[in-house]
Chains A and B, each alone.
Chain A
Amino acid sequence: MNNRIFLALSSLTILANFAYAGSPPADAIRGKTLYKIYCTQCHGLEGDGYGINVADMEVLPRDHTETKEMKTRTDKDLFKAIKFGGKAIDKSVLMPNWDGNLSDRQIDDLVEYLRVLCCTKTGK
C-alpha cells in the first residue's frame, strides 16, 4: 500500500477513536489540509497562534489548541468567524473573511478540524 494512503487511513482510525465514533471523520481530514494551506500562516503549524506572520501583528491569532477557551465557542460561532472574518464578530480585522475563497462545505470541514485540534489528543 502507498504510504500516503496508509497514513491517511491510520489517522482516520485515530480520529475515529477519539472523537468521531459515528460521524464521518473525512471532514476533519479535509479540514486539516485546508487549515495548513489557509490558516497556519497566522495560527501556526501547530495551531497555537504563533504563525510566521505574527511578529509584526498587533493582535495575536487565537490559540486553537486552548481547550477551555475553544469550548466556549459553538460550531456556529466558529463558522461565522471563518466565513465573515474578525470584523463580523467584533474582533480584529487581522482575521480575514474567507467567504470569497472557501465554500460553506469547506468551512464546515475546518470547524470539524478545529474541534480535533482544540479538544482531542491527536490535535496536540
Chain B
Amino acid sequence: MFHSVRKGAVPGSLKVLLSAMACWLPLATALAEDVGQYVSKSCAGCHALTQAEIKNADVSERARRKGPPLYYAGDKFKQKWLERWLAKPVRLRPAGSFPPDHTIVTDDGDVIDRATLKDHLALPAGKTKLVAGYLMGLHMGDKPLLNSQYKPKKISKMLGSMDFNKFKGCSACHRDAADNGGVSGPELYTAWSRMQPEFLISYIKDPVAWDVHTMMPDKHLKEKEIHKLVDYLKLIGEAAQ
C-alpha cells in the first residue's frame, strides 16, 4: 500500500499524515479482523455469511437452516435498528427460522410449539456497534438489485390493509399487526424500522435473487404495486414506533 508511493512524490505535510495513518491502520485492521473472527466463531453456525453456502447447496439446505442469512445484511438492515436489536433481541419470526421444526399437529390443526423456540443471544454492550458495523459491510453485490428510486406516497390504512390482506395475500404468511396474519414469515409491522426501503422493494420484487431457497413466493408484482405495499409498511411501521 504505502510502499507503492514514491518518496520524492510525497509533500511534507502529507508525509506526516501518512505516517500517522500508518501506525493507526494496523490497529484498525486488527480490530476488524477480530470482529470478523468473532462473527465467524459465534454466528456462522446459524447464519450464512456468504451467498455461496446457500447457492451451492441443494434445496434441502432450507430445512436445515438455523437462522436467516446475513450475507446481504448491509443491503438490508437499518444500522440503528441492528445495533439496538443485537443488544436486546426480540422475536421477529413467530415460528422460528424453519417453521416445520417448531410446529406440532393437534386436533385443532397445526400450532407453534413455543417450547422449542429459543431466545437469541444478546451481545454485550461493548460489542454491538462493532458487530453491527461489520454486518453492515456485508453486501451481495452481484446484481444491481437496489435501484427502484422509491419515493414514499401517502396511502390510507384501509386501502393499504385491503391490498396487503385480500388482494396480494401477504397476510397469509406475514403479520401486519401483532394480532393479524400468518406466522411462517417474519413480522412486517416492524419492517420499516428494521429494513432499508430499497431492500423491501427489491425483496418483494425478486426474493429468489436474494436467496435461492427463500420460502417467500415471487408474485411477479409490478413496481407500482410494490411501492404501494411498501407505503403501507411505512404507515404501519411508523404507527408502531
Contact = CB atoms under 8 A, between A and B. Distances in A.
A44 interface: yes
B110 A57 contact: no
A101 B207 CA distance: 9
A94 B172 contact: yes
B59 A41 contact: no
A33 B218 contact: no
B171 to A, nearest CB: 7
Interface string B193-235: 0000000000000111000011101111000000000000000
Nearest to A52: B110
A56 B182 contact: yes
B59 A100 contact: no
Contact of A93 (B62, B167, B208): B167
A105 to B, nearest CB: 11
Contacts of B206: 100
B217 A100 contact: yes
**Range class of the B interface residue count:** 35 or more
A36 B168 contact: no
A42 interface: yes
Given A41-B182, A44-B110, A50-B109, A56 B171 contact: yes
Nearest to B181: A56
A33 B108 CA distance: 24
Interface in A25-58: 33-34, 36-38, 40-42, 44-46, 48, 50-54, 56-58
A116 to B, nearest CB: 18
B173 A41 contact: yes
Contacts of B214: 101
A85 B218 CA distance: 11
A101 B208 contact: yes
A98 interface: yes
B184 A54 contact: no
B220 A94 contact: no
A52 B105 contact: no
Contacts of A42: 172-173, 182, 184
What range describes how many residues of A lie at the interface?
20 to 34
A37 B168 contact: no
Contacts of B95: 52
Nearest to B212: A101
A44 B217 contact: no
Contact of B219 (A34, A57, A97): A97
A96 interface: yes
Given A57-B172, A57-B182, A96 B103 contact: no
A52 B183 contact: yes
30 contacts: A37-B59, A37-B213, A38-B215, A41-B100, A41-B184, A44-B105, A51-B103, A51-B110, A51-B184, A52-B95, A52-B99, A52-B183, A52-B184, A53-B172, A56-B180, A56-B181, A57-B182, A85-B217, A92-B169, A93-B169, A96-B219, A97-B218, A97-B220, A99-B218, A100-B208, A100-B218, A100-B219, A101-B207, A101-B208, A101-B217
Interface of B: 59-60, 62-63, 95, 99-100, 103, 105, 108-112, 166-169, 171-173, 180-184, 206-208, 213-215, 217-220
